[in-house]
Structures are given as structure tokens and as C-alpha cells.
Chain A
Amino acid sequence: MRDTADAPAIVAEGLVKRYGPVTAVDQVGFDARPGTVLGLLGGNGAGKTTTIAMLLGLLIPDGGRITVLGHDMATNRFAALSRMNFSSPYVALPHRLSVRENLTVYGHLYGVGGLRKRIAQLAEELDLGRFLDRPAGELSAGQKTRVALAKALINTPAVLLLDEPTASLDPDTADTVRGWLERYRDSTGATIVLASHNMAEVERLCSDVVMLKAGRVVDRGSPAALIDRYGREDLEQVFLDIARGTGVAAEAGR
């Protein structure tokens, strides 16, 4: 199967991951269509990072199957990886290299054509120009987050996985980045998977949300549908209901 305009960019079916006696991810399944942003929500230890690591091929599932852009990640992950990218605050870039050098390294690794132009374009769009030639290790947390995002966008990915993309940003910069991600999705038709604890961010960006708890999918829907289903005013209250097992979540046994 190859990716077509309306086929899901990501299909995860029955994913299972165990670490010894602990089942970190248990029969998780979802799909994401091109041009959409899928939110993975859940408390600490819910299985978000494990799921993202499996989507990226960093982690081999104990059960289930993942297809990205039509490529089976178990047998043909490199074909998919060249059109994917990833950003996480838990993974750093070499801190002695300048921002430009880091982006050059990853431009080469992803085989980006017109690399200098692409770096200049990202520098302008993400406002990196002032520190493009400074070592990455000398930047503020917010600047590092923007550089990590630039690295994640260097190959204009068709599938972008973001773990807490605005975690270290001030509200103004975070808002700018969210706007930029929306424009990126709209202009490229990219599929974005977002793991975030910022519910306002998820409400704004995501068209579909998968709620995880103790490694299982406990609910799924658009932010508006989830808010309506739980009789709450915002997604944060829905999140708390599910995490604490209160309200509608208690009645449904979630």
C-alpha cells in the first residue's frame, strides 16, 4: 500500500509494548489522515512517549502493526523515516555545534535539496536569524525549542511527531509556533501527531484526540465532541475526569 490523498498517513493497529511485567501500551490503535493534527493525551506513564517511539521505529512493538505513509514500519521503516521527523524536549542537538551547523547536519541526513535556502527559510519563519551562528548549547530553553522544531521541519516532513512542542516557550512565542504549525499543516497537508499537556494547545490544534490511560485508549474524538460527551467546558476538565475517574468517566468506567 502507498499513500494516496485520502488514505490514512498513519495506521496503528493493536499496539502492545511490555517492559517485563509492566504493560506500557495495551492494544492501542488509531489512524490519522493527511492534513490533520492528532493529539495523544494522557497523564504521566499513560503510554504517549512509548507510542511515539513505536511510531518512529525507535521501539519494536511486542504486538500490533504500524503503517506510515503506506510503509510497514516493521519491514520498511527507512522509506517512511525519510518523510517523517520528530521533536522532543528529551532529545537534544549537539550543543557545541552552531544552529546552522546542526541544521546542515540534519539536512544532509534527510537528503534535503537546496539546503542553504531551506535553512534560511526556516530561520526567517521561526525567527532564528539572531542566533543562527551561535552554539546550540548557549541558547535559552525557548530558543532551543524553536531550533528543535526547525530540525524537525528541515525535510518538510509529511508526518511530524511532536512531543511537548511548546513546553519551554513564553505564551507569545508559543502562540506564534502554534500558528506556524497550523499554516504548515494547511500548506503542506502534513499529518501531525502531538503529545502535549497543554489542553488549550490541543483544543486549538487537534482535530482528533486519543485519550490514553494506563497504556490503553479510553476515549477518542474531536476536542469539541469530547467536551460535549463529558459535559464539561474545556478539554482540561475532560482530562481531569479521565485521569481521576470522576464525572462521566466514572460512570463509563474509564
Chain B
Amino acid sequence: MSGPVALSGRRVWGLVYRHLALYRRSWPRLLELAYWPILQMTIWGFVSEFMVRSSGWAAAASGVLIGAVLLWEVCLRSQMGFAISFLEEVWSRNLGNLFVSPIRPWELVAGLVTMSVLRMTAGIVPAILLAWALYAFAITDMGFVLIAFFALLMAMGWAVALAVTAMVLRHGAGAEALAWSVLFGLAPLSAVFYPVSILPSWLQPVALAIPATHVFEGMRAALLEGSVATGHLAAAAVLNVVWLGLAAWLFAWVFRIARQKGLLLNVGE
């Protein structure tokens, strides 16, 4: 099998194999994948337990908080899984070798997306099991709409990661802090832990331009009312297409600048 599709598949697998081999040899990296989601789940889970025992409203909403923590981690881990896999190439000064190979930019992105899914899964599954074991919270109670929530949050994570990757390509490792910080900056506007109506009215249009905002509104509808907020899901999907399109354009533009300025051999400082 040596057709173009098979060769593309091999190149994507080559990139994924490179990261899997890295994790096989680095237990701190493996530990880090699950550490933060478990830590978040533990803290917020106990906060929820406290609220259940001290407030009637919170009793009804306790699952909302735990669900929000879990779903936010889906977005965060997807973004970090993508961006940090790219940073691994920067840290190991391997980009020069990578970019003189016949790997296409979209194959590079496909490899990073695959690693993002694997890293997110490795981080989230232990947290989901912990939520079930400690707080009797089964995320699957949301029903099949959960699949859409996961997909939409992962897509937003990839869009942000693609933009972060473009910044690292343009500005070197000096921009790598963005890989850890960008989504934390978006969290207050994404209505993760509270409805968007809590925000000041002038800030609400900004919040509604973020795909995750609609996912979390949809999550609250699923958990508190047992309904599927199709309008919010559609809005999140459309916004994701826009975000991904803009991020892809930014990446392609920066990649060309990098080839004009000779940055591909020197990314890292």
C-alpha cells in the first residue's frame, strides 16, 4: 500500500508514534496528563458536596458544578494536548528535521489533533471515574448530547491551540506560556460555572462569541431541565467553524512568514 492516502496516514502515524514513544519513556509526563484533572475534580467535587449539605438550590445544582469541571477539562486538555505536543518538537530542536521531511502542514495538524485526543482521554477518564466513585456523579446521565459537548469543546481547544502554535512558530519559546494560560483567560467569559446571564450585559455578546459558552449553557439545560439546547449546540458548531477557520488561516500565514524569515530552523528561543 503506497498510495497518497496511505503515505499520508503513515506520516501522521509517524508523528503520533514519536509522541507515544516519548510517553513510554517518561513517567512524569504520563503522570502530568491525569494529575490536574484529578486535582480539579477532587477540589470542586468536595466544594459541591459542601454546597449540597448547606443549600437547597445547590443540592439541585451540585452535578452542574462537577459536570462543568469535567467538561472544561475536556476543552483545556484538548488545547494543551495539541500545543504541548508541538512544543515538544521545539524543546527537542526537532522542527528543522520535521519540516524538511515530506510531512504536509495539514498532516502535522492531524498528528497533533490525534495526540490531543489521546492526551485528553488519558487525563479525563480517571477524573470521570473519580467523580463517579467519590460523588456518585455519572457524566453519562447527560445522555447522547454529551458526545456533542465533547466534540464541540475539543474543536474549540484545537482552534485555540492552532493559534497558540502559530504564535510559538512566530515568536519562539517566549510564546510558550500561552499554551498554559490562554484558556484560563477565556474561562471567566465562557460561562463554565455560572449562566451567561450573570455577566454584565455589555460583556454577554463577547461571551456568546465563544463556542464553549453555548456548550455550558447546553450542559445546564441537560442537567437541570433534562432538555437538549439545540440552538446553543448549533451556535457552538457555527462558532467553532469560524474559530477553526481563523486559526487555520493564522497558522498558514505565520508558517509562510516563518519560511520567509528562516524561523523554522531556529524556533526554540
List residues of A whose CB falls within 8 A of some B CB: 19, 49-50, 53, 56-60, 78, 81-82, 84-86, 88, 90-98, 101, 104-111, 113, 135, 151
Q: Which of B92, B103, B261 contacts A94 (CB 8 A)?
A: B92
CB-nearest residue of chain A to B256: A60
> Which residues of A lie under 8 Å from residue B201 when comparing CB positions?
none
A101 to B21, Cβ gap below 8 A?
yes
Given contacts A97-B21, A108-B10, A108-B14, contact A92 B259 (CB under 8 A): no
**A60 CA to B89 CA, complexed, in Å:** 22
B11 within 8 A of A: yes
Q: Which of A59, A60, A97, A113 contacts B22 (CB 8 A)?
A: A97
B236 within 8 A of A: no
Q: Which 8 A-B pairs have the closest CB atoms?
A: A108-B14, A91-B96, A82-B102, A92-B93, A109-B101, A94-B92, A109-B14, A105-B18
Q: Which of B21, B101, B264 contacts A106 (CB 8 A)?
A: B101
B101 to A58, Cβ gap below 8 A?
no
CB-nearest residue of chain B to A92: B93
Q: Which of A58, A95, A110 contacts B92 (CB 8 A)?
A: A95
Given contacts A60-B256, A111-B11, contact A81 B94 (CB under 8 A): no
B139: shortest Cβ distance to chain A, in Å? 34
Q: Which of A60, A95, A97 contacts B260 (CB 8 A)?
A: A60
B14 to A105, Cβ gap below 8 A?
yes
B4: shortest Cβ distance to chain A, in Å? 10
Q: Which of B14, B96, B256 contacts A58 (CB 8 A)?
A: B96
Q: Which of B97, B102, B256, B262 contacts A78 (CB 8 A)?
A: B102
A133: shortest Cβ distance to chain B, in Å? 11
List residues of B whose CB falls within 8 A of some A CB: 2, 7, 10-11, 13-15, 17-18, 21-22, 25-26, 88-89, 92-104, 256, 259-262, 264-265
A81 to B102, Cβ gap below 8 A?
yes
B259 to A81, Cβ gap below 8 A?
no
B264 to A58, Cβ gap below 8 A?
yes
> Which residues of B lie under 8 Å from residue A91 when comparing CB positions?
93-97, 265
A135 to B97, Cβ gap below 8 A?
no
B18 to A94, Cβ gap below 8 A?
yes
Given contacts A58-B264, A86-B100, A91-B96, contact A108 B2 (CB under 8 A): no
A-B contact pairs, 16 of them (CB 8 A): A49-B265, A58-B99, A59-B259, A85-B100, A91-B96, A92-B93, A93-B94, A94-B22, A94-B88, A94-B92, A97-B22, A101-B21, A107-B14, A109-B14, A111-B2, A113-B2
B21 to A90, Cβ gap below 8 A?
no
Q: Given known contacts A60-B260, A85-B100, what 6 new A-B pairs fall within 8 Å (CB)?
A: A50-B262, A58-B262, A59-B262, A91-B93, A105-B14, A135-B25
Q: Which of A50, A93, A98, A109 contacts B102 (CB 8 A)?
A: A109
B265 to A93, Cβ gap below 8 A?
no
> Which residues of B lie under 8 Å from residue A81 when comparing CB positions?
100-102
> Which residues of A lie under 8 Å from residue B95 when comparing CB positions?
91
> Which residues of A lie under 8 Å from residue B88 when comparing CB positions?
94
Q: Which of A90, A104, A108, A151 contacts B11 (CB 8 A)?
A: A108
> Which residues of B lie under 8 Å from residue A93 when comparing CB positions?
92, 94, 97
> Which residues of A lie under 8 Å from residue B260 when comparing CB positions?
59-60
A86 to B21, Cβ gap below 8 A?
no
> Which residues of A lie under 8 Å from residue B256 when comparing CB positions?
60
> Which residues of A lie under 8 Å from residue B10 when comparing CB positions?
108-109, 111
**A134 CA to B50 CA, complexed, in Å:** 51
